[in-house]
Amino acid sequence: MKKLILILFLISTLQCQAQIEGYWKGEIDFGTLKLEMAFNIKAIENGYSATLDVPAQGAFDYPVDETTFKDGHLQLTMSAMDASYSGTLKDDVIEGEFTQRGMTFPLNLVKAEKKEQKKARPQDPLPPFNYHIEEVTFVNEKEGNTLVGTLTIPQGEGPFPAMVLVSGSGQQDRDEELMNHRPFWIIADYCALHGIAVLRYDDRGIGGSKGEVENATTMDFSYDAEAAFDYLRTRKEINASKIGILGHSEGGIINFMVAARRPEVAFLVSLAGPSVNGIEVLKEQQAAILRASGMSEEAVQFSSNANAQLFDIIEASNDRVEADSLMRQLVKGWGYNEELTEQTVSQMTMPWMYYFLKYDPTEAIVKTNCPALLLNGSKDLQVIASQNLPGYEKIIADYGKTNLTLRELPDLNHLFQHCETGSPNEYYEIEETISPEVLELIVEFVKGIY
């Protein structure tokens, strides 16, 4: 009898495993916008594993840190996203909620087939490549980490003008690949075909590049970019007096950091590089993206007011420890549990975020004297033109910075794609990776200096 009960229990367990395994899909309803999400759940030796897909954002196979399924209850945690999913299996539906950064949304999941989704990227360069391509390695001597990248050198006789490409926030590869878009590869290709050499590299901790990431700040990353600049100066094919730096988003802060230290930097190109501190950038960014997502104005204001309280603590704090303590008191007063308190506060006080929020780029911009082309898309919801360009204009007026050239480009988003709303939800769906106009402006600017 005991043996029979054991066998029945085993069969029941296997059936339960079979029920939860699979591709589970559902939609979060924001009112005017629905966002599809899907979890691919698999049984493994000691439990379960899962990955997350958000097709509209070009995110596929995003790792889920913790996956538990017990007594019909599913719990998924994605720490890097500050997100989690909790649901209960009822017949053929998982009824549950998706939580991210303190906001909770109903999300019911049903089984579906996972379809391969790969959008056309017509701007991706195709062989034959009419320039020289070389894998290169260089060292950030200040911090001792090795970086790996690709150097593209035009055909013909040099030495050529050149530039380093510096990516935006988050660890990205040398192509700055995002949602199957590879803008840095396209920039490198276009420049090489027009007589400009380009060095693009994997950020530390990605691809072939090494280096400490967890405690690194924007300033640390600037020394990686400086190492790339110094490497170009050693190449005989490159004109050492004509080397500049192109930075996108956070990279548009980093390029000014390097140029302020190194007067040898010949020029800068900033693609949506902020002119104000990170607190001001995120205040505008968060509200704009929530509105574009269809969230009600009441909900936008509620979120903005909550974030403003956190930002005020960051702004007034002397260090991360002080900020951490004060923010924990604040969010516990909001009724957050321990897990949500930890997620909210730890994200705000991580070394990179804390530094970014407090850093004001004005001093580095003022110290930079080389020609700089500063571009911003009119529909950028991440570094908003109506906030960012006036910031540069004020610096120009206050400090007489005649070396800065500003351009607002109509209908372009943060990736410099032609778009409808500018929402990050559009990035993946748009076939264009980067506006041809931007490529032309970059080359015209560099060639116009010499």
Residue type for 75, please? Q
For domain 131-276+360-449, which CATH number applies: 2.40.110.10, 1.10.3300.10, 3.40.50.1820, 3.40.720.10? 3.40.50.1820
Instruction: Report the sign of the C-alpha dihedral through residues 188, 190, 192, 196, in that order.
Output: negative
361 cis-preceded (ω within 30 degrees of 0): no
C-alpha distances (whole Å) from 224 to each of 165, 210, 359, 374, 407 are: 11, 11, 18, 22, 28
What is the distance between the alpha carbons of residues 369 and 144, in angstroms, rounded to a whole number?
29
Q: Encode the chain (450 residues) as per-residue pLDDT tens digits.
A: 444 444 443 333 344 455 788 999 999 876 556 788 999 999 888 889 999 988 877 778 888 989 999 888 999 998 777 789 999 999 889 999 998 866 788 999 999 888 766 788 999 999 999 999 999 999 999 999 999 999 999 999 889 999 999 999 988 999 999 988 999 999 999 999 999 999 999 999 999 999 999 899 999 999 999 999 999 999 999 999 999 999 999 999 999 999 999 999 999 999 999 999 999 999 999 999 888 878 889 988 988 999 999 999 999 999 999 999 999 999 899 988 887 788 788 888 999 999 999 999 999 999 999 999 999 999 999 999 999 999 999 999 999 999 999 999 999 999 999 999 999 889 988 999 999 999 999 999 999 986
Rg over CA atoms, the chain: 24
What is the distance between the alpha carbons of residues 30 and 40, in angstroms, rounded to a whole number?
23
Q: CB-side exposure of 65: number of CA atoms within 13 Å?
A: 9
Contacts of 10 (CB under 8 A, 6+ apart): none
What is the distance between the alpha carbons of residues 200 and 224, in angstroms, rounded to a whole number?
11
The single residue listed with the structure tokens 């379960």 is 48
By CB neighbour count within 10 A (0-12 exposed, 13-18 middle, 19+ buried), where does 21 fall? Answer: middle
Q: For residues 416 and 409, is the Cβ–Cβ distance under 8 A? A: yes
Residue whose C-alpha is closest to residue 404's, from 432, 362, 438: 362
Torsion of CA 361, 365, 371, 373, to 10 degrees: 30
In this prediction, residue 101 carries a pLDDT of: 66
For 297, other C-beta atoms within 10 Å of its C-beta total 10
Residue whose C-alpha is closest to residue 167's, from 121, 216, 204, 140: 204
What is the distance between the alpha carbons of residues 388 and 32, in angstroms, rounded to a whole number?
28
pTM of the predicted protein model: 0.81
What is the distance between the alpha carbons of residues 389 and 276, in angstroms, rounded to a whole number?
10
pLDDT tens for residues 226-248? 999 999 999 999 999 999 999 99
Q: For residues 166 and 225, is the Cβ–Cβ distance under 8 A? A: yes
CATH 2.40.128.20 domain span(s) along the chain? 21-112
DSSP of 332-397, one letter per residue?
A: HHTT--HHHHHHHHHHHHSHHHHHHHH--THHHHHH--S-EEEEEETT-SSS-HHHHHHHHHHHHH
In this prediction, residue 295 carries a pLDDT of: 81
In this prediction, residue 425 carries a pLDDT of: 85
pLDDT tens for residues 275-303? 999 999 999 999 998 888 788 899 889 88
For domain 21-112, which CATH number applies: 3.40.50.2300, 2.40.128.20, 2.70.50.30, 2.40.50.140? 2.40.128.20
CATH 3.40.50.1820 domain span(s) along the chain? 131-276+360-449
